[in-house]
């Protein structure tokens, strides 16, 4: 039997919780440190779209493949979490409609569709009438749409709760309200952690998953960390209505709409370079509401439930970094950008395997530190 090993994980978002749970399942002693509460970063702000195909852009083929692999692992993740915790992720598989609201958008969407066809991705071209047959709430101004049946969604809040419960069930320990100040690294690699209260913890493995705040951690040699910045997203939640305003995820050029089984409709989201400014702006909300209203006019009367703001951890290459660094015992799970919820299974199973056995699964090879 393998000797039990100990790892400290910094960050209680999906990038930290997923591998934490899987390492605990593999017999590791896991201590996860979160400076606030579990999911207090970007992970609980997210809409929950699992959309490798509709997110596909022309220069990001490796990321597309990682997203597709992660989506293939989702049923396994949802089943395993449900079996251990009884928490349902609200995994909806209705597919996504990407709509064009004017002629320019239609041209852009047609180019995207040609790219889908080149790569053999499942996407179907629809004229306005066909799109409205699937989704009667769409604006009569929509003349062109793509249907991507393989793009699904889950409820990120449920997943965070389930991951935390599964981690504890597997023997891991969660330390909430415990900010980490930095790492202690010696000649032989990682030696421990220093907490904000001045105390230290001896540990020979550390996984950094502190989202957009990762660069604030002290003691990490600059050369091993990718450049990371926060990309701000504003989001609005309204009542979905009864009968529901829409059934599918709808992506319009300037906004997306994500219907939840619990009667909420998520409307997002801005992509803004404003550092960690947590104030919602009139312009940000105006942009996403106008974008949503152009696609689904019925949203005009929907009562507002909540607003949110979050900070995506984004690297210069727009790709995550998931793996073990050249410093002994130092591992990274950072830079998940717009796709951290989608990438949760690929990160959880893949990183736990590579830390535990040293064998990097093929889907993570392109994303090593
Ligand atoms: C508006 C919005 C919508 C989104 N929608 C989607 C979507 O539909 N689909 C999708 O796939 N992705 C989506 N995302 C992206 C996704 O939310 C992120 O990629 C993902 O949540 C990043 O996870 P993370 O664990 O790296 O970071 P976070 O969730 O930010 O977690 C980092 C954690 O580390 C903690 N921390 C920081 N510093 C310290 C410290 N010193 N000590 C201890 N703890 C610390 C923080 O408190 C935080 O809880 C969206 C993001 C936003 C903002």
Percent of the chain topping pLDDT 70: 99
pLDDT band of residue 218 (cuts 50, 70, 90) is very high
Q: How far is the CA of 124 from the centre of ligand 1 (A)?
A: 32
CA 323 to chain centre: 17
Please check whether residue 1 lies inside any domain of the structure.
no
Same domain? 215 vs 134? no
User: Residue 50 pLDDT > 80, yes or no?
Assistant: yes
pLDDT at residue 37, as a whole number: 98
- The residues, ordered by sequence, that sit 6+ positions from 32 with a Cβ below 8 Å of its Cβ are 8, 9, 11, 12, 16, 17, 20, 167, 172, 173, 174, 175
Among 279, 299, 315, identify where a domain stops: 315
Regarding whether 233 and 276 lie in a shared domain, the answer is yes
Same domain, 259 and 355: no
Would you state the pLDDT for residue 344? 98
What tokens were used for 152?
A: 């699904």
pLDDT digits (tens, 9 = 90+) for 139-171: 999 999 999 999 999 999 999 999 999 999 999
> Which residues lie across from 90 on neighbouring strands?
none
Q: Which atom of ligand 1 is nearest to the CA of 308?
A: 1
The H or E element containing residue 283 is helix 282-295
Q: Over the stretch 62-97, which tens digit does the pLDDT of each residue have? A: 999 999 999 999 999 999 999 999 999 999 999 999
Mark whether 235 and 283 lie in a shared domain.
yes
Taking CA atoms only, the protein residue closest to ligand 1 atom 48 is: 41
Whether residues 233 and 355 fall in one domain: no
Q: Tokens at residue 187, please?
A: 């000649």
Ligand 1: residue whose CA is nearest its atom 41: 180
135 domain-assigned: yes
Distance, in Å, from the CA atom of 285 to the CA atom of 209, rounded to the nearest integer, reads: 29
Q: Rounded to whole angstroms, how far apart are CA atoms 215 and 181?
A: 11
Residue 94 contacts residue 248 (beta carbons within 8 Å):
yes
**Candidate of 46, 249, 267, 335 to mutate for ligand 1, largest count of ligand atoms within 8 Å of Cβ:** 46
Pocket of ligand 1 (CB under 6 A): 10-16, 33-36, 40-43, 45-49, 179-180, 209-211, 213, 217, 233, 235, 268-269, 310, 312-313, 336-342
Across 191-196, average pLDDT: 96
Please tell me the total count of domains within the chain.
2
pLDDT > 90: percent of the chain: 93
Whether 4 has a pLDDT exceeding 60, the answer reads no
How confident is the prediction for the chain on average, in pLDDT?
Answer: 95
| In the chain, beta strands by DSSP E | 6-10, 29-33, 49-50, 96-100, 124-127, 144-148, 152-153, 173-175, 180-186, 189-195, 200-202, 206-208, 228-239, 249-252, 255-259, 264-268, 304-315, 321-324, 330-334
- Cα separation, 317 vs 319, whole angstroms: 5
Based on the domain organization, do 322 and 196 belong to the same domain?
Answer: yes
Average pLDDT over residues 311-329: 97
Alpha-carbon gap, residue 315 to 231, rounded angstroms = 10
Distance from the alpha carbon of residue 131 to the mean position of ligand 1, in angstroms: 33
- Picking from 315, 336, 355, the residue at the C-terminal end of a domain is 315
Q: Which residues 6+ apart lie within 8 Å of 339 measured at CB?
A: 52, 55, 63, 67, 320
- How many angstroms does the Cα of residue 301 sit away from the middle of ligand 1? 31
Closest CA to ligand 1's atom 21:
43
Compute the distance between CA of residue 47 and CA of residue 258 in angstroms, rounded to an integer.
Answer: 7
CB neighbours of residue 336 within 10 Å: 27
One domain for residues 15 and 103: no
pLDDT range class, residue 57, cuts 50, 70, 90: confident
Q: Are residues 235 and 356 in the same domain?
A: no
- CA–CA separation, 52 and 341 (whole Å): 11
Query: From ligand 1's centre to the CA of 45, what distance in Å?
Result: 8
d(CA 114, CA 315): 28
The reply to whether 207 falls in a domain is yes
Mean pLDDT of 189-196: 96
152-153 and 49-50 beta bridge pairing:
antiparallel
Q: Does residue 110 fall inside a structural domain?
A: yes
Tokens of 153: 């969604």
Residue 299 reports pLDDT greater than 90: yes
Predicted pLDDT of residue 56: 80
Q: Is residue 21 part of a domain?
A: yes
**Which residues constitute the domain of residue 281?**
96-151+229-315
Residue 1 confidence (pLDDT): 35
The mean pLDDT of 298-325, rounded to a whole number, is 97
Q: How far is the CA of 130 from the centre of ligand 1 (A)?
A: 36
| CATH at residue 274 | 3.30.9.10
Please check whether residue 91 lies inside any domain of the structure: no
Q: Which two three-digit tokens encode residue 254?
A: 């300037």
Name every residue whose Cβ is closer than 8 Å to that of residue 199 and which is 6 or more positions away in sequence. Answer: none
Question: Do 36 and 57 have their domain in common?
Answer: yes
- Which residue puts its alpha carbon closest to atom 35 of ligand 1? 11
Q: Quick one: 172 and 221 in the same domain? A: yes
Residue 337 falls inside a structural domain: yes
* Six token digits for residue 107: 């041209």
Same domain, 80 and 163: yes
Tell me which of 201, 211, 268 to substitute to probe ligand 1's pocket, judged by most ligand atoms within 8 Å of the beta carbon: 211
Distance 312 CA to ligand 1 centre (A): 6
DSSP one-letter string for 3-47: PP-EEEEE--SHHHHHHHHHHHHTT-EEEEE-SSSTT-SGGGT--
Protein residue with least CA distance to atom 6, ligand 1: 46
pLDDT at 53 over 60: yes
Q: How far out from the chain centre does Cα 46 lie? A: 7
> Which contiguous run of DSSP H or E holds residue 165?
helix 156-169
Q: What average pLDDT score do residues 224-247 get?
A: 97
Q: Which pairing describes strands 173-175 and 29-33: parallel, antiparallel, or unpaired? A: parallel
Ligand 1 pocket test target in 14, 18, 42 with most atoms within 8 Å of CB: 42
Buried b (16+ CB within 10 A) or exposed e, 176-203: eebbbbebbbeeeebbbbbbeeeeebeb
pLDDT number for residue 173: 98
- For the CA of 36, the closest atom of ligand 1 is 47
| Residue 177 falls inside a structural domain | yes
Question: Is 80 in the same domain as 160?
Answer: yes
Tell me, what CATH number does 222's domain have? 3.50.50.60
């Amino acid at each position: 039997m393998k000797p039990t090993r100990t790892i400290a994980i910094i960050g209680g978002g999906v990038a930290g919780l997923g591998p934490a749970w899987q390492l605990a399942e593999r017999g590791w002693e896991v201590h996860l440190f979160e400076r606030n509460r579990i999911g207090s970063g970007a992970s609980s702000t997210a809409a929950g779209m699992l959309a490798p195909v509709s997110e596909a852009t022309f220069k990001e083929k490796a990321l597309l493949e990682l997203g597709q692999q992660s989506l293939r692992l989702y049923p396994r993740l949802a089943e395993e979490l449900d079996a251990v915790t009884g928490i349902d992720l609200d995994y909806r598989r209705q597919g996504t409609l990407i709509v064009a609201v004017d002629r320019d958008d239609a041209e852009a969407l047609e180019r995207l569709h040609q790219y889908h066809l080149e790569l053999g991705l499942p996407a179907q071209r629809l004229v306005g009438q066909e799109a409205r047959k699937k989704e009667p709430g769409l604006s009569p101004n929509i003349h062109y749409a793509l249907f991507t049946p393989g793009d699904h969604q889950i409820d990120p809040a449920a997943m965070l709760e389930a991951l935390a419960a599964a981690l504890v069930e597997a023997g891991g320990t969660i330390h909430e309200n415990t900010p980490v100040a930095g790492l202690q690294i010696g000649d032989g690699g990682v030696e421990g952690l220093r907490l904000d209260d001045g105390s230290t913890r001896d540990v020979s493995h550390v996984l950094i998953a502190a989202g957009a705040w990762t660069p604030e951690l002290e003691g990490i040699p600059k050369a091993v960390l990718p450049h990371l910045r926060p990309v701000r997203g504003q989001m609005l939640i309204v009542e979905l209505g009864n009968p529901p305003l829409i059934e599918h995820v709808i992506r319009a050029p300037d906004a997306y709409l994500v219907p939840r089984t619990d009667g909420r409709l998520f409307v997002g989201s801005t992509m803004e370079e404003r550092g960690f400014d947590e104030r919602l702006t009139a312009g940000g909300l105006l942009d996403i509401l106008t974008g949503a209203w152009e696609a689904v006019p019925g949203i005009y009367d929907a009562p507002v439930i909540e607003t949110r703001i979050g900070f995506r951890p984004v690297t210069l290459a727009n790709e995550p970094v998931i793996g073990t660094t050249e410093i002994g015992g130092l591992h990274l799970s950072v830079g998940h950008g717009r796709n951290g919820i989608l990438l949760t299974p690929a990160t959880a199973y893949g990183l736990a395997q590579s830390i535990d056995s040293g064998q990097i699964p093929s889907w993570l090879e392109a994303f090593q530190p």
